[in-house]
């Protein structure tokens, strides 16, 4: 037994012969008039010359309705005999008329005629029955199908006639041959298209979200949405419609995938080359707002070139959230070119650079020491940025309050109105430093109202560092006794520890920086001087008294 192999024409011919033999009966197929003598639930009976034959009712049923009645004369095909009964077919008569029409149209040898139909059934190990829209049936051998049998029923296909016989009402078709011929022609056409890079004309066949399919004379190529305009990715439906003629350049062909890539923009002059000698950074140009993104707006120069107006370049106001709040599609605006790279097709422009700089205006109206009101714009770990009109100033954590170790995030929330004082301006870096605590009396001020340099106070050790000891004086105010101002450690003066009470003299009160310096050594010296003075005074009194006594004598 021969083993069945796909795509072997010799085997195909055998299957075709088997099919033709299966159609032949004991008598030559003839058409005769018969009379319907009975109509049952599943069949109708036709009488011809005293002999009867049964035909499936479905053959004379259209949309569920029987088209004939008992007594009607109907043309049927005699396929043969089965004992005393005839083997008849009404459908074969209709098929024969269609076959005759097909041969009348395409001749007795209609090979290479392309037909189209739907696979209606499968003959196991033989092939497919394909029916055209006119009701004509074709036989397609399994090896000529180029399609899997599973799931094939119901599929619409195109195929080419490879064998046909009028007398046996058989037409054999091949989808495989049609595909092979198409691929061969396609390869030849692709080779011609790829021969040069000249501009060629095509017709827009289908538009999708990712590009357009263009008919290049029987070969479809894809123009990706990146290849339509020098602006970059665009929506093709905004530029073209199906049926439009377009000029394209062939870019590449992937033979394995059968993908032909085309470009419309490569068929046009490169506008970036044109502006290379005409435009440079710093130029002011008039553009049209063409599109919005969350990160900014795109502007059209009018020659298939778009530039990016980033959201940070729209206004000096740092709180711009949406470009639509400042611009509209179609607006004509003047902008400054701030970045241009024609090779990379990159253009960035600025709107704010043509506007007065808020920092310069601020310096014209304000100075260090001014007290202003603003709103908390941003809170960070190191402080808060306060919006004062069109500029922001920094309120550092250390300037938020005289209270120690307090951060802005603990005191404010975004949007809060605060009163601040300008304490520093860096013109070069355009930084403004603000303070709230400068508006209030410092703890050192309050301390100075009660104490002066030279006063002796008692306090408690709060912290011990390598460079000295911090003592607690009042709320939000510490005093520092530097290492060199401490007493030497002895049995009478043991090493200090946190919580110890100490006595020292005030040596400096820094109101601006809220600092107080103390000294234990200076206090010791001061006490020693007082003792010496006391001793000296006592000695002088005794000597005087003695002299006075001597004089009296």
- Per-residue pLDDT tens digits for 523-552: 888 787 777 776 665 554 554 554 454 444
pLDDT at 268 over 80: yes
Q: What is the pLDDT of residue 383?
A: 93
Q: Biggest alpha carbon distance in the chain?
A: 195
* pLDDT band of 1, cuts 50, 70, 90: very low
- Per-residue pLDDT tens digits for 208-232: 888 999 888 777 889 998 888 887 7
Q: Looking at residue 512, what DSSP letter applies? A: T
Domains and CATH numbers, the chain: 196-267 (2.40.50.140), 284-354 (2.40.50.140), 358-439 (2.40.50.140), 443-525 (2.40.50.140)
pLDDT at 416 over 50: yes
Q: What is the 3-state secondary structure (H, E, C) of 49-85?
A: CCEEEEEEHHHHEECCEECCCCCCEEEEEEEEEECCE
Mean pLDDT across the stretch 31-52?
89
The Cα–Cα gap between 76 and 61 comes to 15
The Cα–Cα gap between 229 and 269 comes to 11
- Per-residue pLDDT tens digits for 315-329: 887 778 899 989 999
Q: What is the pLDDT of residue 204?
A: 92
Task: Please report the sign of the dihedral spanned by the C-alpha atoms of residue 215, residue 221, residue 224, residue 228.
Answer: negative
- Two structure tokens written together for 233: 């990715």
* pLDDT band of 10, cuts 50, 70, 90: very low
* pLDDT band of 26, cuts 50, 70, 90: very low
Q: What is the pLDDT of residue 551?
A: 44
Mean pLDDT across the stretch 339-356?
90
Question: Which of 60-74, 109-123, 408-422 bottoms out in mean pLDDT, i.e. has the lowest?
Answer: 60-74
Backbone angles phi, psi at 212, to 5 degrees: -135, 140
pLDDT at 134 over 60: yes
Selected residue with higher pLDDT from 31 and 4: 31
Q: How far from 455 is each of 268, 461, 472, 482, 514, CA to CA, in Å?
A: 90, 18, 16, 17, 18
pTM of the model: 0.44
Mean pLDDT across the stretch 148-162?
92
Decide: helix, strand or coil at residue 446: helix
- Per-residue pLDDT tens digits for 444-499: 888 888 888 988 988 999 889 989 999 988 878 888 999 888 888 877 788 888 98
pLDDT at 348 over 80: yes
Beta strands 259-263 and 220-224: pairing type? parallel
Is the distance from CB of 391 to CB of 429 less than 8 angstroms?
no
From 26, 137, 138, 135, select the one nearest 78 (Cα to Cα).
Answer: 26
Which uninterrupted H or E stretch holds 250?
strand 245-254
Q: How far from 246 is each of 174, 213, 214, 242, 418, CA to CA, in Å?
A: 35, 11, 8, 11, 63
Q: What is the pLDDT of residue 340?
A: 92
Q: How far from 273 is each of 169, 262, 287, CA to CA, in Å?
A: 67, 21, 19
Task: Please report the sign of the dihedral spanned by the C-alpha atoms of residue 403, residue 408, residue 409, residue 413.
Answer: positive
pLDDT at 157 over 80: yes
- Per-residue pLDDT tens digits for 161-199: 999 888 777 899 999 998 888 877 777 777 777 777 788
CA 529 centroid distance within chain: 82
Beta strands 501-510 and 456-465: pairing type? antiparallel
The Cα–Cα gap between 322 and 514 comes to 45
Q: What is the pLDDT of residue 3?
A: 33
pLDDT at 18 over 70: no
The Cα–Cα gap between 175 and 144 comes to 6
Q: What is the pLDDT of residue 11?
A: 46
Average pLDDT, the chain: 84
Q: Where are the beta strands (DSSP E) in 301-388?
A: 306-310, 332-341, 346-350, 371-379, 383-388
The Cα–Cα gap between 470 and 462 comes to 5
Q: What is the pLDDT of residue 25?
A: 39
- C-alpha triplet 345, 346, 347: angle, nearest 5°: 125
Residues with Cβ within 8 Å of residue 498, at least 6 apart in sequence: 461, 462, 463, 464
Q: What is the pLDDT of residue 228?
A: 86
Mean pLDDT across the stretch 241-257?
85
- The residue with tokens 């990715």 is 233
From 443, 451, 497, select the one nearest 474 (Cα to Cα).
Answer: 443
């Amino acid at each position: 037994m021969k083993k069945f192999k796909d795509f072997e024409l010799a085997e195909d011919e055998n299957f075709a012969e088997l099919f033709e033999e299966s159609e032949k009966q004991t008598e030559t197929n003839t058409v005769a008039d018969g009379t319907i003598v009975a109509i049952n639930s599943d069949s109708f009976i036709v009488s011809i010359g005293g002999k009867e034959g049964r035909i499936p009712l479905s053959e004379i049923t259209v949309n569920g309705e029987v088209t004939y009645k008992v007594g009607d004369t109907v043309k049927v095909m005699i396929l043969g005999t089965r004992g005393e009964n005839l083997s008849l077919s009404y459908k074969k008569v209709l098929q024969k008329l269609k076959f005759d029409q097909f041969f009348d149209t395409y001749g007795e040898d209609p090979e290479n005629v392309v037909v189209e139909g739907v696979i209606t059934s499968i003959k196991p190990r033989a092939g497919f029955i394909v029916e055209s829209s006119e009701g004509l049936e074709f036989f397609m051998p399994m090896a000529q199908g180029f399609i899997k049998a599973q799931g094939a029923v119901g599929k619409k296909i195109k195929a080419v006639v490879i064998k046909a016989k009028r007398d046996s009402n058989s037409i054999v078709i091949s989808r495989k041959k049609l595909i092979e011929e198409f691929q061969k022609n396609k390869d030849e056409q692709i080779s011609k298209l790829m021969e040069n890079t000249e501009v060629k004309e095509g017709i827009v066949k289908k538009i999708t979200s990712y590009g357009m399919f263009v008919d290049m004379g029987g070969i479809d190529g894809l123009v990706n949405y990146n290849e339509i305009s020098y602006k970059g990715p665009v929506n093709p439906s905004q530029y073209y419609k199906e049926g439009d003629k377009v000029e394209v350049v062939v870019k590449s062909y992937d033979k394995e995938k059968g993908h032909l890539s085309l470009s419309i923009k490569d068929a046009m002059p490169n506008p970036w080359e044109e502006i290379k000698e005409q435009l440079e950074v710093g130029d002011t140009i008039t553009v049209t707002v063409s599109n919005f993104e969350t990160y900014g707006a795109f502007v059209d120069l009018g020659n298939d070139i778009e530039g990016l107006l980033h959201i940070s370049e729209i206004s000096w106001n740092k709180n711009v959230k949406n470009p639509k709040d400042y611009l509209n599609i179609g607006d004509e605006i003047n902008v400054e070119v701030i970045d241009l790279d024609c090779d990379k097709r990159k253009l960035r422009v600025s709107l704010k650079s043509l506007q007065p700089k808020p920092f310069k205006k601020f310096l014209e109206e304000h100075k260090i020491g001014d007290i202003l009101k603003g709103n908390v714009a941003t809170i960070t770990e190191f402080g808060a940025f306060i919006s004062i009109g069109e500029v922001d100033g920094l309120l550092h954590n250390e300037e938020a309050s005289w209270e120690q170790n307090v951060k802005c995030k603990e005191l404010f929330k975004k949007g809060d109105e605060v009163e601040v004082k300008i304490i520093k301006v860096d013109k070069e870096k355009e930084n403004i430093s603000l303070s709230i605590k400068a508006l209030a009396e410092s703890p050192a001020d309050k301390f100075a109202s009660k104490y002066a340099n030279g006063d002796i106070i008692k306090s408690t050790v709060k912290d011990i560092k390598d460079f000295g000891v911090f003592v607690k004086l009042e709320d939000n105010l510490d005093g520092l006794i530097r290492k060199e101002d401490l007493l030497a450690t002895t049995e009478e003066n043991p090493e200090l520890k946190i919580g110890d009470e100490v006595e020292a003299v005030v040596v400096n009160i820094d109101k601006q920086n809220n600092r107080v310096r103390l000294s234990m050594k200076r206090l010791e010296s001061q006490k020693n001087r007082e003792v010496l003075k006391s001793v000296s005074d006592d000695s002088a009194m005794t000597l005087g008294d003695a002299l006075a006594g001597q004089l009296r004598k």
